[in-house]
Structure 1
């Protein structure tokens, strides 16, 4: 299972094409709407509803996109 993360549109995009809304957090752990400030994201993983947080600093550049279309 692999995702790419579109920070501008605040979605995680699975390799199979489905999307999940994400929340962005800054270096202080505060919610932000600015993708440039985001260092962590959070999202609810279907189908079980487990909330996942992910440090963006550990991802490869090709896993983070700013705009998909």
Structure 2
């Protein structure tokens, strides 16, 4: 089965969340995820993540969803 790019982005951000679960609660893990995405992800991947979150982000780990909302919030 061939994954779409969006499915791969979802898988990757969820892996980052799981790999950093020892950072603390979901809020603290979200900070780690947001930092990683900011530093290492190209605009195209960030845009796919933002689009997915706008659509509801149902398959995201709770910390990944928090990170995405932090990254793309207009309140920042």
Q: 1 or 2, which has the higher strand percentage? A: 1
TM-score (norm 2): 0.24
TM-score (norm 1): 0.26
